[in-house]
């Protein structure tokens, strides 16, 4: 297995700390709003990575956080608390907001056939762990306190900036000092470990007692503490979207390695953004889409998953409804092919060994998916198999085995019923009448007209059948 490591900026041979066991931490959502398709692209890519590792014989322990406190709108220490802002907009409590959007997130994962993590770790349920880790950092001299917060002093951490490649002095210069709300903050890149219920957060609803006064944890400490609680001080893989690299993941490394003196992450796995019609997704542009929008469009979630698989995870992807519709048609063809195979297979042959041709296709798939998750190439192999002359039993079993990685839920495939427009039905009836009258010229002309409209007519012993091309 080869995987691109953001830390080294190159594709490396994947070697977990304790093979065949793999520890895998994925940054989860801040549950202040609906999960959108940009989030889902990230989690589909994480899912394909986890499925690939399992396919190759590794045993993966997967942990994902649910951020329900501490994440501010600026992603660092400026701005409002996202949870309280979201609750204010919805006219509900922060606790109810977290419950509703957590449920929506998990149901969205299920709709996309994403295997749930072994552990969903809610920040609000791990306050003692955050406080304990902060105390360790304090005892080692990495913190300082102001009237409003307890900070991590990045100048005390030797290699700060190593993940993003940005030097600390550059980060200091680039920062806009006028937005630093806390006058006691020493360096622009310093980050909060614990917010006090004081100053702008005097009336913060979510608060807990601590050695530094009542307050709530900073966003960054949450992932480090929860990751180490469930997976140990050094984790094999840490995943997230690329926007987390320069601040959140950089800060995770600093506080984690400062606390333990050990490497925090062996392989950083980041995927690029999803654009919608060439633009960043936002509600103000009216291009913010969720799993519900897919359902309302009558294009299923598996069509979206197949569409995601056709762009490599480290490339920007552009979503359009046209591309989703095309992916939906492709998925329906795939489903119908599986259903046709299912009717032809012999159960007694399903346990036989693959023949040489099937073994070659299987290896071609493995070569693609284990080379830094080349999912587009892996999907291409899948289509090659559907068009091959493999025996139905082998083809059926091989497609389902490959789908253990791709996650398109083909084992539960049911024939996709195509709605035939009345115009096509009428043309088909005219063609059939012409054929029976032995007017083959007219029959062929009508067949071509039908084909030009995206349908085909096949003559069988039971009569003609119309299908979508």
pLDDT at res. 179: 52
Mean pLDDT of the chain: 92
* CATH no. for 2-271: 3.40.50.620
pLDDT of residue 170: 65
Of the candidates 250, 415, 437, the one whose C-alpha atom is nearest the C-alpha of residue 336 is 415
**Domains in the chain: boundaries:** 2-271, 276-412, 422-468
Higher pLDDT, 283 or 157: 157
**What average pLDDT score do residues 386-414 get?**
93
pLDDT of 373 strictly over 90: yes
Task: Look up tokens 């796995």; give the residue.
Answer: 269
Q: What average pLDDT does range 329-350 have in this prediction?
A: 84
Q: How far apart are CA 373 and CA 7, in angstroms?
A: 18
Q: Is the pLDDT of residue 177 over 50?
A: no
**Closest to 60 (Cα-Cα) out of 129, 123, 122, 119:** 119
Contacts 24+ apart (CB under 8 A), 359-364: 361/385, 361/388, 361/390, 361/398, 362/398, 362/401, 362/402
Work out the average pLDDT over 359-372.
98
Across residues 370-394, what is the average pLDDT?
A: 96
Q: How big is the chain, counted in residues?
A: 469
Higher pLDDT: 346 or 334? It is: 334
Using a cut of 0.95, tell me whether the model's pTM lies above it: no
User: In which band, very low, low, confident or very high, does the pLDDT at 346 lie, cut at 50, 70 and 90?
Assistant: confident
Question: Where does the pLDDT of residue 171 fall: very low under 50, low under 70, confident under 90, or very high at 90 and above?
Answer: low
Residues 154-168: what's their mean pLDDT? 90
Class of CATH domain 276-412: mainly alpha
Average pLDDT over residues 63-78: 89
Q: What is the pLDDT of residue 181?
A: 73
| Overall average pLDDT of the 180-207 stretch | 91
Nearest Cα to Cα of residue 19 among 58, 61, 56, 62? 58
In the predicted model, is pLDDT for residue 343 greater than 70? yes
Sign of the alpha-carbon torsion through 385, 386, 390, 396: positive
With a cut of 70, say whether residue 416 has pLDDT above it. Answer: no
Q: What is the pLDDT of residue 418?
A: 57
Bridge partner residues of 121 (DSSP): 65
Residue 347 confidence (pLDDT): 66
What pLDDT, on a 0 to 100 scale, did the predictor assign at position 173?
47
Q: Considering the chain, what percentage of its residues have pLDDT values greater than 90?
A: 77
**Averaged pLDDT for residues 165-173:** 68
* Res 172 pLDDT > 80: no
pLDDT at 357 over 70: yes
Range among 312-316, 415-419, 420-424 with highest mean pLDDT value = 312-316
């Amino acid at each position: 297995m080869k995987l691109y490591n953001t830390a080294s900026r190159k594709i490396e041979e994947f070697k977990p700390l304790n093979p065949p066991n793999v520890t895998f931490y994925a940054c989860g959502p801040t549950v202040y709003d609906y999960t959108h398709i940009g989030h889902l692209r990230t989690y589909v890519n994480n899912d394909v990575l986890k499925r690939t590792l399992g396919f190759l014989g590794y045993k993966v322990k997967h942990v994902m956080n649910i951020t329900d406190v501490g994440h501010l709108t600026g992603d660092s220490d400026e701005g409002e608390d996202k949870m309280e802002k979201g609750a204010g907009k919805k006219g509900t409590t922060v606790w109810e907001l977290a419950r509703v959007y957590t449920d929506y997130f998990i149901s969205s994962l299920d709709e996309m056939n994403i295997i749930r993590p072994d552990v969903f770790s809610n920040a609000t349920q791990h306050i003692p762990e955050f406080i304990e880790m902060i105390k360790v950092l304090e005892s080692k001299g990495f913190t300082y306190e102001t009237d409003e917060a307890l900070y991590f002093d990045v100048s005390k951490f030797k290699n700060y900036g190593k993940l993003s490649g940005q030097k600390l002095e550059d980060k200091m210069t680039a920062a806009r000092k006028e937005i630093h709300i806390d006058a006691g903050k020493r360096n622009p890149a310093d980050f909060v470990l614990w917010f006090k219920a004081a100053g702008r957060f005097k009336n913060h609803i979510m608060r807990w007692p601590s050695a530094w006064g009542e307050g709530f944890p900073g966003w960054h400490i949450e992932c480090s503490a929860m990751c180490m609680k469930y997976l140990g001080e050094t984790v094999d893989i840490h995943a997230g979207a690329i926007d987390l690299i320069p601040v959140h993941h950089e800060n995770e490394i600093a506080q984690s390695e400062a606390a333990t003196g050990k490497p925090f992450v062996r392989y950083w796995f980041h995927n690029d953004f999803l654009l919608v019609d060439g633009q960043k997704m936002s509600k103000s542009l009216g291009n913010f889409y969720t799993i519900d929008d897919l359902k309302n469009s009558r294009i299923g979630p598996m069509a979206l998953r197949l569409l995601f698989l056709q762009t490599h995870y480290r490339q920007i992807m552009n979503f359009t409804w046209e591309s989703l519709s095309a992916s939906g048609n492709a998925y329906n063809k795939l489903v119908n092919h599986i259903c046709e195979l299912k009717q032809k297979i012999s159960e007694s042959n399903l346990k036989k060994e693959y023949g040489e041709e099937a073994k070659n296709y299987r290896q071609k798939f493995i070569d693609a998916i284990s080379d830094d998750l080349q999912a587009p190439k892996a999907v291409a192999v899948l289509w090659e198999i559907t068009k091959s002359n493999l025996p139905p039993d082998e083809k059926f079993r091989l497609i389902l085995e490959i789908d253990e990685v791709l996650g398109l839920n083909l084992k539960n495939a049911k024939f996709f019923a195509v709605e035939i427009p009345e115009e096509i039905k009428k043309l088909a009836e005219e063609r059939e009448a012409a054929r029976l009258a032995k007017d083959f010229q007219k029959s062929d002309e009508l067949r071509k007209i039908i084909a030009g409209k995206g349908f085909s007519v096949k003559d069988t012993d039971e009569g003609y059948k119309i299908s979508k091309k």
